[in-house]
Structure 1
Amino acid sequence: MIQKFFLICSGADLELLQDCPAGERNKYAGIGATVFFTAVMAFIASAYALYTVFDNVYTAIFFGLVWGLLIFNLDRFIVSTIKKRDSFKSEMLQATPRIILAIIIAVVISKPLELKIFEKEIDQVLLEEKNQMTLDNQAQLAQQFSPTITQLEQQITGLKNETATKAAEVNALYETYIAEAEGRKGTEIVGKGPVYKEKREKHDAELAALAELRETNTAKIADLEAKIADLNQNYDQKVTETQPVIDGVDGLMARINALNKLPLLPSLFIFLLFLAIETAPIIAKLLSSKGPYDYKLEEQESAIKVWAEQRVGERQAVLATDQALSQKIHAEIREEEAVYRHKKQQTEALLKAQADKFHEVQLKSL
């Protein structure tokens, strides 16, 4: 039962194989098994690849099954259409397009399985790329807010410097009138005289101005700091909104790109393995000698070909004979006087009838 199933998978003619030795049936059963298990691997690879795209098990299984059946049909077609010839060169010539197709199928099958086999390494590469993308994203978003924030911070620094400068001036005035009272500077007379009072009044006026300036600048600084806080909040919000996009960079194309950044040798060996599996039935048929099944198939095809050529030849012979007979018959008819006189009478009658009809039409038109 299993052997019959694999023989069906090989695309061989079961009726011809019935009369072949057991070794011939085993050979084609092995070819069919290779075709079947290649289709199974194609199903697994396609289902995993589509799962990374749709993130749905049932969808991945359905389309994976369709893809596996497609690969099975292609492999079965490739193997069944390779015929053994008397010349290896002609066999190789007819097998070349099929080998190219097998290479393409091997690439399609092996790539998703490589993604699964090197999943942990790919996850590490994706994590590094996501981290770098997060930093780049933050830097790009910061470029939108940094100039405004820097400008506001400069304004705050200016206001603080203005307050500090005013405070330094008030402190200098304080030192001046204290030194005047102590007799260290100015008039150098100890005591609170008119000069002292004048300097004290100037200091008190500047101190009041300082208090007013400090209150005004504090309010301005608070307003500017609130704007900076809003900008920082908007920046954090932008980062939060764009981060899911970066976290979602985990699709099929991203994983293939991450796989290409890994060392080439392991992926190459896996590809060569599937290439060997995919081309094994073709290579086996090319390298194997011409067996009983090949002779029987060639005999069957040649019988059909000869029969078709014979029927075509017979039809051509019938056509040539019919044409020759028709020419001979018409040649003999041309020589008979009775036929000539009858044809002449009929022609004269036709011409007279046409003339009478034309004359009748002309009279009606007058």
Structure 2
Amino acid sequence: MLKNFFWMCSGADPDLLNESPKSEQIKYAGIGGTIFFTAVMAFIAGSYALYTVFDNIYIAIGFGLVWGLLIFNLDRFIVSTIKKQDTVFKEFLQASPRIILAIIIAVVISKPLEIKIFEKEINQVLLKQKNQLTVQNQNQIAAQFIPEINRIQSEINTLKNEIEIKEKAVNDLYNTYITEAEGTSGTMKLGKGPVYKEKREKHDALLVELQQLKKENAIEIANKETMLSELRSNQNKKITNNQPIIDNFDGLMARINALNELAWLPSFFIFLLFVAIETAPVLAKILAPKGAYDLKYEEQENALKVWVTQQKNQRSLLLTSDAKLNEKVYYDVSNDDDIYKYKKQKTKDLLKLQSDKFYEKQSTIIG
């Protein structure tokens, strides 16, 4: 049962194999097994590749099945059509399109499995890249908000400085009129004289201005701090909204790029392995020695070719002979007097009938 299945996979004729030696049967069962397991590997690799893209096991398995069947059918077709030639070079030349295609397919299907094999190392690279992207994202968003934040913060500082300057002026006037009353500065006279009164009035007037300035600036500072809080909140919100995009930066393309940052030698050997797997069915057929099955197949094909050639030649000769006979028959008939008289009479009748019909039609038209 298994042997017949592998024969079917190899694309060989089971009737001819049954008549061939056991060694030939084993050889083609091996070729069929190689084709089958190559398709299985293609199914696994294709399924995993689609799973990394869509993260859906049903879509991945469906695509992997189609991909595996495609590779199976392609390998079976090419292997079954490779004819054993006199030299291996001719067979390689015959199979060269499939070998080129095998290299392309190996590149496609080896990458997903490389990604799975080096998953931990790739995750480390992706983590580093995500951290860099997070910092870049924060810097880019900060560049949008910081100029406005700095401007508002500068205005707040200016308002606070106005209050501090006014407070310093009030404190200086306070110290001036106190020391005047104590007689330690100014007129150097103890007591509250006219100079004290003048300085006290200046202080009180400036104190009223300070209180008014504090009140007005406090309102402006509160408004600007509210704007500042909103800007910082929007900045943090934008950073938070962008973070899931960075966290999901682990798709197929990102993993392939991360894989390229790792050492190339292990990936190269895995690629060579898949090239070997993909080209195995073709190479197995090419490198296999020409055996009894190939001779029987060649004999059967040659016999069919000879039969077709014979049929074609017979049809050609038949056509030529028939043409010659027809030419001779018509030549003999053309010299027969009876045929001549009969055809002459029919021609006269036809001309008379034509004249009568023309006359009737013209009479009808004229009225």
Tell me, in whole angstroms, the C-alpha distance in 2 between the residues paired with 1:78 and 1:172: 103
Query: Is this contact kept in 1: 2:7–2:14, CA < 8 A?
Result: yes
Q: Secondary structure at the match of 2:82?
A: coil
Kindly indicate whether the alpha-carbon contact (under 8 Å) linking 1:71 and 1:105 is maintained by their aligned counterparts in 2.
no
1:92 matched to 2:92? The reply is: yes
Distance in 2 of aligned mates of 1:50 and 1:13? 36
> Which runs of structure 2 are paired with 1:248-327 in the superposition (5 Å)?
248-327=248-327
Aligned to 1:364: 364
What SS class does the counterpart of residue 85 from structure 2 fall into?
coil
Question: Is 2:4 the counterpart of 1:4?
Answer: yes
- RMSD, matched Cα: 1.8
Amino acid at match of 2:54: F
SS at match of 2:191: coil
Q: Which runs of 5+ in 1 are unaligned?
A: none
2:106 aligned partner:
106
Code of the aligned partner of 1:217: N
C-alpha distance in structure 1 between counterparts of 2:328 and 2:235, whole Å: 103
Equivalent-residue separation in structure 1 for 2:9 and 2:296 (angstroms): 20
TM-score normalised by structure 2 residue count: 0.94
Distance 1:335 1:287 in 2: 72
> What is the rounded CA distance, in whole Å, between the counterparts of 1:34 and 1:356 in structure 2?
86
Report how far residue 280 of structure 1 moved. Answer: 2.2
2:51–2:60 Cα contact (<8 Å) kept: yes
Amino acid at match of 2:161: N
Q: Distance in 1 between matches of 2:353 and 2:12?
A: 74
- Identity across matched positions, percent: 60
* Unpaired stretches in structure 2, ≥5 consecutive residues: none
Contact kept, 8 Å, 1:114 with 1:267, in 2: the verdict is yes
Question: Residue 190 of structure 2 corresponds to which residue in structure 1?
Answer: 190
Q: Tell me the CA shift for residue 63 of structure 1.
A: 2.5
Counterpart Cα distance in 1 of 2:286 and 2:321: 47
Instruction: Provide the C-alpha distance between the structure 1 equivalents of 2:21 and 2:166, rounded to a whole number of angstroms.
Output: 113
Aligned residues: 366
What does the per-residue CA deviation read over 1:16-64, in whole Å, with 9 as the maximum and x for residues that have no partner? 1112222222222222222122122112212222222222333322332
Tell me the amino acid that sits aligned with residue 138 of structure 2: Q
Q: Secondary structure at the match of 2:86?
A: coil
Alignment check: 8 A CA contact 1:180 1:190 kept: yes
Is the contact between residue 75 and residue 282 of structure 2 (CA under 8 Å) also seen in structure 1?
A: no
Deviations 1:316-354 (A, max 9, x none): 111111111111111222222332232222222222222
Structural mapping, 1:213-228, within 5 Å: 213-228=213-228
CA offset digits 1:169-195 (Å, max 9, x no partner): 222222322333334443333321111
Distance 2:44 2:363 in 1: 93
CA distance in 1, matches of 2:80, 2:131: 52
Aligned equivalents of 1:348 and 1:319: distance in 2? 37
List structure 1 segments (4+ residues) > 4 angstroms apart after TM superposition: none
TM superposition score normalised by structure 1 = 0.94
The residue aligned with 1:171 is 171
Are 1:238 and 2:238 counterparts?
yes
Letter in 2 for 1:27: K
Contact 1:11 1:80 in 2 (8 A): yes
Higher mean Cα deviation, 182-191 or 284-293?
182-191
Range moving further from structure 2, 343-352 or 197-206: 343-352
Q: CA deviation at 1:274?
A: 1.3
Q: Is the 8 A contact 1:99 1:279 kept in 2?
A: yes
Letter paired with 1:194? P
- Report the CA distance between 1:80 and its aligned residue: 1.5
